[in-house]
Structure 1
Amino acid sequence: MRSAIVSAINQHLNQASLLLDVITNQQYTDESVGPYYSSVGSHLRHTLDFFNCVIDGLDHNQIDLTARKRQEEVATDKEVAKLHIARIQETLVSFLDINTDYLLHVTDNLGQGNVTVNYTLDSIMAHANSHAVHHFATIGYVLHQLNVEHTIKGFGYNPTTPIEKRKGI
């Protein structure tokens, strides 16, 4: 797998880990922000579930993004989430020396039932990274509504967002 992809993912997961150091467990689990009433923890759990689906499906070349484990403890306990992040990061580093020039079968529900398409490991991991950034932006919104400030540079911003358009970083 390309080192640039692992590096980008780990940079974003490091940001998530840093966030867990600066918010309280109450802030992590607060579900009071509409319109979806989801917590920072539930978004982080969902993000990590995506990575786990990829990792879990590699051995049999059947990655099923609808088979998320939804481990509630990751959504409710910051320390469990940090351990989960570290495990994913270790696994990603172990992928650096493997061949990624083969197709993986990836199943997802696009709103009209499950569909299986082909990806490479590089492409599904790049997709997982974009998915993480998208949810980190939502986490940023939730934290803003909770009046929680952080100084984690670039958290929740797509790397292509022009610097002058980024607020609060």
Structure 2
Amino acid sequence: MDTKLRSLFDSACDQLTLLGQTLSPLTDAQYTTESQALPGSTIGKHVRHILDHFSLLFTALSAHPPATVCYSHRERNAFAQDTVAGGRSTIESTVQRARALSTQPNAHADPLTISDTMTGGNEEAFTSTVGRELWFCIHHMIHHNAIIASLMHEFGLHPPTQFAYAPSTIKHNK
């Protein structure tokens, strides 16, 4: 595996681990409390949403040849959404999957097909790469981490400072 792709897998593991650590002190009540600012939104729902995307990508990468990834057809893992322990357990298994996939030399060279729902409801397919989709999942997670951080502040909690920021923002702010 090339060093750039390995770096992406490492970054995914680092960001997922930070998410798990950030959730650690939460109670299940805090994890599932609905936001007043974002009605219907909970920390658990955002965690589940993040993990659903990684799961879809990693499941496709485990198929031979790689299967189509369709981010709009998520299973919505309630186990990860409803309890802190469920979220943290799913994060840990996602990190393990990422580490296992990162050890497969040359296994991720084939292009991927990405399918998603467009405005108007049409499904469209696109060609992509493992690196591009892993990058997407990481940055998608960071943006949801920012929402999770906002929810934590709304509930009187204090997430780690670096939690809601992209690595490029952290580097820029140094």
Q: Against the structure 1 CA distance between its residues 146 and 74, is the aligned structure 2 distance closer, same or farther, given a 3 Å change threshold?
A: same
State how 1:68-79 maps to structure 2 within 5 Å. Answer: 68-79=74-85
Identity %, equivalent residues:
21
Change beyond 3 A, Cα 1:116–1:133: same
| Unpaired segments ≥5 residues, structure 2 | none
Counterpart residue type for residue 119 of structure 2: G
- Which digits, 9 at most, give the CA deviation of each residue in 1:81-125, with x for residues without a partner? 111111111111112233222111111123332221111111111
Unaligned runs of 5+ in 1: none
Q: Give the structure 1 partner of residue 148 of structure 2.
A: 139
Aligned residues: 165
* Counterpart among 96, 99, 105 of residue 93 in structure 1: 99
Hey, what does 2:167 align to over in structure 1?
Answer: 159
Task: Pick from 104, 119, 122 the counterpart of residue 112 of structure 2.
Answer: 104
Aligned-CA RMSD value = 1.9
Give CA deviations for 1:11-47 in whole Å, capped at 9, x if unaligned: 1111111012111111111103323330000000000
For residues 128 and 39 of structure 2, the distance between their equivalents in structure 1, rounded to whole angstroms, comes to 31
Give the distance between the partners of 1:93 and 1:30, measured in 2 at CA.
32
TM-score (norm 2): 0.86
Contact 1:104–1:121 (8 Å) recurs in 2: yes
Give 1:165 shift.
5.7
Q: Which amino acid aligns with 1:49?
A: D
Task: Give the structure 2 partner of residue 19 of structure 1.
Answer: 22
Choose which of 84, 87, 106 in structure 2 pairs with 1:81. Answer: 87
Corresponding residue of 1:31: 34
1:48 CA drift (Å) = 0.1
Higher helix share: 2
